Amino acid sequence: MYTHRPLQPADLVAVCSLPRNEEELYYMFPKAKYPLTPEQIEEALKDRLEPTVALHGDTVVAYANLYGHDGECCWLGNFVVAREYRGRGASRYLIETMESIAKHRLNVRRLRLVCHNTNTRGMLFYHKMGYKPFDISLRTKPSGEYIAGILMEKSL
């Protein structure tokens, strides 16, 4: 049902439309300002690896990349799925794709991610996918509210 490929310049506008509000953008890309722009993505890509889109037909339905590669592990970043594709297998497809890329192209043994404590749906999804919490970090939302970033990892 889904396919994937490396991010292409023509995908940037579609990726920018995936987070529908400031909160979704914060979960996807905490350093970005809403609304997301192609320029913000291009700037972030300077230290990101394997930017990947998931497609349903020709439609971009999800996006993610990897960062922080240290030889043993790396981090999943900027993970976002179009609202209308949540609960329809797109999240699972893209997570499994990024895990495979991390394991086979980057030769890492663990994939890590950060999920904010206010993102209950995300937290439950990552747990179902085999990710386990290993630490907590203090985060500040654009509103100034403090929240917890739950650091999670999975052995690949």
For the domain that residue 14 is a member of, what is the CATH number? 3.40.630.30
Tell me which residue of 134, 133, 55, 58 sits closest to 97, measured CA to CA. 55
Dump pLDDT digits (tens) for 14-60. 999 999 999 999 999 999 999 999 999 999 999 999 999 999 999 99
Number of domains in the chain: 1
CA distance from start to end of the chain:
24
Predicted TM-score (pTM) of the model is 0.97
